[in-house]
Amino acid sequence: MLELLKQPWPWYISGAAIAFIMILLLVYGKSFGVSANLRTLCTIAGAGKKVKFFDFDWKTQKWNLLFLLGSILGGVVASTLLKSDEPLQLSAATISDLKELGIAFDGGLNPSQLFGPDFITSPKGFLILLIGGILVGFGARYAGGCTSGHAISGLSNLQIPSLVAVVGFFIGGLIMTHFILPLIF
- Alpha-carbon distances, residue 45 vs 38, 50, 56, 175, 179 (angstroms): 11, 11, 12, 33, 36
Task: Report, in Å, the least distance between residue 156 CB and other proteins.
Answer: 3
Q: Using CB under 8 A, count the residues that bind other proteins.
A: 124
Q: Which of 12, 86, 100, 183 binds other proteins (CB under 8 A)?
A: 12
Query: Cα 94–95–100 angle (5° rounding)?
Result: 95
- DSSP letters along 113-164, please? HHHSHHHHTSHHHHHHHHHHHHHHHHHHHHHT--IIIIIIIIHHTT-HHHHH
Distance CA 11, CA 25 (A): 21
Using the minimum distance from each CB to other proteins, give the nearer residue, 12 or 57.
Answer: 12
Q: How many residues does the chain have?
A: 185
Task: Report, in Å, the least distance between residue 47 CB and other proteins.
Answer: 6
Please give the residues from 50 up to 69 whose contact with other proteins meets the rule CB under 8 A: 51-54, 62-64, 66-69
Binding flag, residue 185, other proteins (CB under 8 A): no
Using the minimum distance from each CB to other proteins, give the nearer residue, 41 or 58.
Answer: 41
**Crossing angle of the two packed helices 62-79 and 36-44, in degrees rounded to 10:** 110
Binding flag, residue 1, other proteins (CB under 8 A): no
Q: Strand runs (DSSP E) across 36-136, as ranges?
A: none
Lay out the site mask for other proteins across 28-47 (x = CB under 8 A, - = otherwise).
Answer: xxxx--xx-xxx-xx--x-x
Task: Report, in Å, the least distance between residue 56 CB and other proteins.
Answer: 11
Query: Cα 29–30–36 angle (5° rounding)?
Result: 165
Task: Report, in Å, the least distance between residue 40 CB and other proteins.
Answer: 10
Task: Report, in Å, the least distance between residue 109 CB and other proteins.
Answer: 4
Beta carbons of 164 and 150 less than 8 angstroms apart? no
Please give the residues from 67 up to 126 whose contact with other proteins meets the rule CB under 8 A: 67-79, 82, 84, 88, 90-91, 93-94, 97-98, 105, 109-111, 114-117, 119-120, 126
Using the minimum distance from each CB to other proteins, give the nearer residue, 1 or 72.
Answer: 72
